[in-house]
Structure 1
Amino acid sequence: MIEKTMYDLPRADTYGGLLISAGKKILLRKPKGNFGGYAWTFAKGRPLPGESAEQTALREVLHETGYRAEIIKPIDRVFTGTTSTTAFYLMGPLGRQGRCCSETAATCWVDLEEAEKLIRETVAEPGRRRDLEILEVLAGEIERLPFHERPATCAEDWKLQPLPKKRRKIALDIFINERDMRELRKGHFPLEMEDHWFSWFDEPVLHLHRSWTGFCLHQVRFEPAEGGWRAVSAWVNRNPKQYTVTDDEEDRRNIRALLEDFVGYARMVATEGPPPSFLSEGMNLAMQPNYLGSPKVVSGLLQTVIEAAIAFVKHETSLIRVWQTVWILGQQVATGDEFVRMPGWHTPQGLGEWLCQYFALHREPIFAEDLAYPVSEALMALVLKVRDMVMAFEEDPAAEWNPHALTQINALHEWAVTVFLGTNDLLNPGKTIDDFGWRRVS
């Protein structure tokens, strides 16, 4: 006897799964030999004797795509194809992809627009019509999906680099309760430009990557513990071109802070409802995660620029790519929807004039009309200053990256944050970018 579950679907001939990722991508499979006239379609199959719809859908997804999956919700609709009817679950991936069955020629993660193009290659008209109908329903489900029901991230969600051979294993002792472990298993997908982390979970390991470079910095291993889980060890990156920390204890602190931040971020984003009405407008602005009056937000923005400069010196990116990054950031700060600006400050006459003064910019007529120009010029001045400091560091035989180079670059970083916030006259009176340069190590 088949028991009913919370995931019951409408009755159909076949059952399947619609896999979506945290990055709002969709998994399609290509049947071998375009079987049934399908170019690209979704995983589905007929139930075995005594098998529930839930069991069938999970089995077929694993069999035909190689992904273990978790059910997010049932799709309360039956779709009619060429020879059968199908009901689907909305699903998220769990971990890395395994081997597909011989019936699948390929799989791919694509956005909605690309998915429509691939599905339209199907020559069987009933199947093509059904899959396009599924895609339309799926688009609505993705749009309405609340944060707490989000799918987990997967390795294919981001352009990632593997953990290098230069690595070190360190012991950890960090307890995580069951509720918070569910959030960590979902992984972390950066929703904001200043968010520098991407993570994905492959039981029992959480992979932590820098979002801007894709470098893997930590792989944290968990084991079951009473009342939850415990992080017991981690592989940490020791490639100096990718990661500058060399102290095990600092890595332990960093990993603990990251785990706490990921869980806290998930709770914050999942919280529904507007701020209390008695809060002032200024408080409402300050509570926004992308508020440009926040030192944390501005620091993250400038960190992106500094990392780009270092990558350029190490020949990991081109000057054109760096300038593109700087120009895009300048436009986003000036007019983009990504940030919440401070009224009266983020203007050509406010921040623009301030940047000209302290970043020693040559004032152009366009600066008085468009804030994006002085912001971009200031960010590029920061890039060039970091470039000069890193090149001087490389010529200093007594200098080490940690602590000498990091200390000096961090001082420049902290000063730049105060300029963008308009607080440098209080914290660093009279100091301009020309006051920074490499100080040789004796």
Structure 2
Amino acid sequence: MKKAVFIVMFLMPWLATAQQPESILLEYCYQQIETNYPLVDKMEVQRKITKLNQRIARSGLYPEVQLKASASYQSDVTDVPFSTPGTTPPSFSKDHYNLSLEVNQTIFDAGRTRTSEQLERGESAIENAGVKADLWKVRAQMEQVYFSILQLQKNLESTELLLADISEQLEMVRAQVENGVLLPGNALTMEAEQLKIRQQKIRIEHDLQASYEVLSVLIGEPITPKVTLKEPNRDVTAGLYEQEISRPELNVFEERREMLDLQKNLASASKLPVVSAFGTAAYGRPGLDMFNDDLQGYWMVGVRAQWSLKSWTNASKKTEVLAHQQRKIQADEEAFRLSVEGDLSRVHRKITQLEEQIELDEQVLNLREQVVEEKESQLAEGVITTTEYLTELNEASRARLQLELHRVQLHQTVIEYLTKKGISWN
């Protein structure tokens, strides 16, 4: 048995890696956050809390049953100083006993119970809206990591392509050195450049590994660099600037306002009396017959009304306080909207900038590739040195990488715009 457990534990990392997909999309990461991120559990816990609190609040509609027992001894009792002829004046015991069962049923509470139940629902709505707002921030954090990985992938691809070009040309240069066309220093220069590019590749691979680890934590699933991240393959720019801001934080403001409205209703209800019916069945001494000093059973039923002058006078003040709190929430919401609009303006400008840069990047790359083709021919003929060729090859590689990075950044900036606006496109 121990051997079997050891084998399973040994194979688990391999099995987890083997089950990983070859590639994933940004939409998949969104879904994993909504499923696996710890904050999601808070919503389920809050649902259970709200359900229990609502049952507690609703209990105000049900009869309240109380069992009471008491025993006492007092220093003095009523003394009857006279009696009719032929009778003995009644005497009263100083020890008293009472066992009673009381039942109270609310008949009218001006909506207090119903409002209390709604308040519990409102508390849950605020909590859940806050969780969704926090999850939205996690989405934004994940997007940054996702697109940083995409940029590193492009950087790695460019580096590998550059290494392949250098390796190919290095073979040709070595042949020319052997034939006496070029000096040995040309081959050494290319070998040094090759080592330098390999160093860059190692750094990129380690950065990729670190970024994948962060992404794994955010989506709650182990992802290795063997899994390729794909760029969003959907056009999400249609109507990009026409849609209204719909950030989850706005729902928090709205739920808080509704909560204050419910508290206003509760304050208004406190101006009215609470009417209830009651019934008591008891056994003890003394009973309702004060002249009977024996233990006896008795009962009574009735209706009572309770009204508090203090609650009535404070209700208007509470309503005024709640109105001020609503104005504070409104001010917070307006400040939040202004902040979001400022961010959207900045991101919009960045989108326009990247679109213009990409057009120029394509032109620059086309020119650089033409120069490299020319330098390749010159190097093959021994007209130029490897240093001159490497200079142009690196420039072309940088131009290609710049174009790819700007394309990724454009995708990232568009997604950032959607996220800041609160638009979910997955």
**Higher RCO (CA 8 Å, separation ≥ 6 residues):** 2
Higher gyration radius (CA): 2
Give the alignment's TM-score, normalised by structure 2. 0.21
